[in-house]
A and B are shown apart, each in its own frame.
Chain A
Amino acid sequence: AQSVTQLGSHVSVSEGALVLLRCNYSSSVPPYLFWYVQYPNQGLQLLLKYTSAATLVKGINGFEAEFKKSETSFHLTKPSAHMSDAAEYFCAVRRGGSQGNLIFGKGTKLSVKP
């Protein structure tokens, strides 16, 4: 069975600082992994996805994530935080085959201080 664990329900960084949101996964098969973002009063927006093509995945808004099989991790990073990055971020793993549903982590709320 697949699962994801997001470490830290709240992360606070200063504007311009590195953003690091942690996600560890558990999967008995090669995982398909996703990061989604939810801005206040909006839906879920795909940031990036890992589909085994490349271990370093670049997404929108300057975010990227690196798949590390040895560490079962898929951490999300951004070199320099912007006030507009304040949102809730969700890591997810696809369950089962190509049409499987997503299994989400509990989410991490990112605050950006001026």
Chain B
Amino acid sequence: EAGVTQFPSHSVIEKGQTVTLRCDPISGHDNLYWYRRVMGKEIKFLLHFVKESKQDESGMPNNRFLAERTGGTYSTLKVQPAELEDSGVYFCASSQVQGINYGYTFGSGTRLTVV
């Protein structure tokens, strides 16, 4: 089974530019999560999709961040315009609840650097 795929793996952009991160979850996983780790801090939850619907977006830092999951498959996270404090590693995870035999599978992350 293919894992969770994220791209790009690295992105360096200038302040004020737009960046779009993509996450392809494991096929059949209804739940998709975005997390972020800013340097030196803990990994923090951003938002949660169930299929194409936003279940919880309480962790989104501000309205410069826009997440979509059209068709309930892959998801994109757009940052527009990017600020210096947006730098960090963005992780995506997917899961499918099946009794106790569930788990959250993470992608390798996108390292975003805003200069």
Contacts and interface: CB of A to CB of B under 8 A. Distances in A.
A104 interface: yes
Contact of B42 (A36, A51, A95, A105): A105
Interface in B18-45: 31, 33, 35, 41-45
Nearest to B4: A43
A53 interface: yes
B11 interface: no
A25 to B, nearest CB: 14
Nearest to B109: A43
A107 B42 contact: yes
Interface in A59-103: 90, 95, 98-99, 101-103
A8 B19 CA distance: 35
A45 B108 CA distance: 9
B108 A98 contact: no
B100 A99 contact: no
B42 A104 contact: yes
Contact of A46 (B33, B45, B50, B103): B103
Contacts, number: 54
Interface residues of A, number: 22
Q: Which 10 A-B pairs have the closest CB atoms?
A: A43-B108, A44-B106, A104-B43, A101-B45, A106-B42, A51-B100, A98-B97, A43-B106, A104-B42, A99-B31
A43 B23 CA distance: 13
B70 interface: no
A99 B104 contact: no
B107 interface: yes
